[in-house]
């Protein structure tokens, strides 16, 4: 399994809405993520900056490149774009993070 980490930016004042939307994660999106091989997916919030830190495990990281083509993923991004920094295609601005330490 590979660990993948990234950061995103939440708009100020949208913390509760972001959490609410994720607590009601669409079943078809959850199924897509699982079918892609994603597990142990967590997103953490730095409440002082609004930075979101995501980490997940995936058997084949190249499978992440397929997600943008799925309609449910595109629909989710459109749903989330009003509360976080997003690209012109509605995908969240996501900055990959390099692992510098791991204690198994």
Considering the candidates 2, 11, 22, 70, report the single residue annotated as catalytic: 22
In the chain, beta strands by DSSP E: 2-9, 38-46, 51-58, 95-97
Strand, coil or helix: 101: coil
38 closest CA partner among 65, 18, 54, 61: 61
Supply 44's token pair: 């953490």
Known catalytic residue: 70? no
Q: Which helix H or strand E contains 28, and what residues bound it?
A: helix 27-35
Catalytic residue positions, numbered? 22
């Amino acid at each position: 399994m590979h660990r993948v980490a990234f950061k995103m930016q939440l708009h100020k004042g949208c913390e509760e809405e972001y959490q609410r939307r994720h607590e009601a994660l669409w079943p078809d999106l959850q199924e897509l993520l699982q079918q892609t091989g994603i597990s142990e997916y967590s997103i953490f919030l730095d409440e002082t900056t609004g930075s979101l830190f995501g980490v997940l495990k995936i058997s084949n990281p190249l499978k992440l490149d397929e997600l943008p083509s799925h309609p449910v993923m595109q629909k989710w991004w459109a749903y989330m774009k009003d509360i976080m920094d997003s690209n012109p295609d509605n995908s969240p601005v996501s900055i990959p993070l390099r692992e510098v330490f791991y204690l198994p």
